[in-house]
Amino acid sequence: MTDTTRVTPSAGVDQTGPTASALNAESVGAPPLLSAHKVRKSFGAAPVLKGISLDVAAGQVMCLLGPSGSGKSTFLRCINHLERIDGGRISVDGELIGYAARHGRIFEMNRREVAKQRGGIGMVFQRFNLFPHMTALENITVAPIGVRGLAKPAALARGRELLDRVGLADLAQSYPAQLSGGQQQRVAIARALAMDPKLLLFDEPTSALDPELVGDVLDVMRALAADGMTMVVVTHEIGFARGAADEVVFMDGGIVVESGSPASVLDHPQNPRTKAFLDSVM
């Protein structure tokens, strides 16, 4: 892996970039499920991500911490290609995000390929973003039926099973407006799970919730982590990070400032910026 490896989205193929075979043979041992390498992203002239590199192994939970504006949401959105990256690369389960290798060259994906790739990466949003015109069950089944082509009875059965798993079995026919914030967020988690994602991304899933509803959502997330789901969680819930994360990453100003085990980063932060941030949220 060299510093010249770089995918330029608009200019098409970079001849010095990675080839299809090189992509899969980068690391020794089990390849990470999520691998971000020198990811850069700017909005206009303002750089938001200035070279984020991190790996998440399958079954691991990574918590991303950082002050507001540090680029956490932007990074998550880059992982499932809601934003195009300006440089670097991201791969999930060995597949480059947004680019496909064919005949040893790299092509930008078309919209259909991007959509298919996103189906394997779940995302849970701060503001839930449930589809308000669909019931809880329809929210969960619309993509498996319409995107994956799952038969309706199978999708409904699986949808009910997922609702049960997030503790909402009897609210299948409720519309989002009839649910509390915590219930909506748990439906949103079930919706993401319905596509059987390899990786789940959470963007501050509890920060729009009343304090007494936070616990229910965190319980569901802890159960997922215990079941071996690979998760990247942006959160300000230090308690969750300490209990559930395998690795904690502290971001500030578009770079990774500090990373390591929860104990080392949360209890013995080395960087003064990490210290200042933890003092402010704890």
Ligand X SMILES: Nc1ncnc2c1ncn2[C@@H]1O[C@H](COP(=O)(O)OP(=O)(O)OP(=O)(O)O)[C@@H](O)[C@H]1O
- Residue ranges binding other proteins (CB under 8 A): 77, 80, 82, 111-112, 115-123, 125, 127, 129-135, 142-143, 146-148, 175-178, 188, 191-192, 194-195
Q: Which helix (H) or strand (E) holds 144?
A: helix 136-146
What residues line the site for ligand X (CB under 6 A)?
Answer: 43, 48, 66, 68-74
**Cβ neighbour number for residue 219 with a 10 Å cutoff:** 14
- When asked if residue 230 is in the footprint of Mg ion (CB under 5 A), the reply is no
Stretch that binds Mg ion, among 46-54, 73-81, 158-166, 273-281 (CB under 5 A): 73-81
- Characterize the bridge pairing of strands 121-124 and 199-203: parallel
CB closer to other proteins out of 130 and 257: 130
Stretch that binds Mg ion, among 10-18, 67-75, 169-177, 181-189 (CB under 5 A): 67-75
243 forms beta bridges with none
CB closer to ligand X out of 75 and 99: 75
129 contact choice in Mg ion, other proteins, ligand X, none (CB below 5 to 8 Å, kind-dependent): other proteins
From the CB of 205, what's the least distance to ligand X, in Å? 12
From the CB of 127, what's the least distance to Mg ion, in Å? 11
Specify whether the CB–CB gap between 61 and 244 falls below 8 A.
yes
CA distance 19 to 170: 50
- Characterize the bridge pairing of strands 230-234 and 199-203: parallel
CA distance 4 to 146: 41
DSSP 176: G
Per-residue tokens: 175: 């519309």
Q: State the alpha helices, DSSP H only, in 7-135.
A: 20-24, 72-79, 111-118
CB closer to Mg ion out of 145 and 201: 201
- When asked if residue 70 is in the footprint of Mg ion (CB under 5 A), the reply is no
82 contact choice in other proteins, Mg ion, ligand X, none (CB below 5 to 8 Å, kind-dependent): other proteins
Stretch that binds Mg ion, among 24-32, 69-77, 215-223, 267-275 (CB under 5 A): 69-77
CA distance 280 to 273: 11
Residues 6+ away with beta carbon under 8 Å from 186:
166, 167, 168, 216, 217, 220
CA distance 167 to 161: 10
CA distance 225 to 209: 21
- When asked if residue 73 is in the footprint of Mg ion (CB under 5 A), the reply is yes
48 contact choice in ligand X, other proteins, Mg ion, none (CB below 5 to 8 Å, kind-dependent): ligand X
CB closer to other proteins out of 35 and 139: 139
- Characterize the bridge pairing of strands 61-65 and 247-252: parallel
From the CB of 271, what's the least distance to other proteins, in Å? 32
CB closer to Mg ion out of 73 and 183: 73
From the CB of 69, what's the least distance to Mg ion, in Å? 8
Stretch that binds Mg ion, among 52-60, 65-73, 177-185, 194-202 (CB under 5 A): 65-73
CA distance 95 to 213: 37
CB closer to other proteins out of 82 and 255: 82
DSSP 9: T
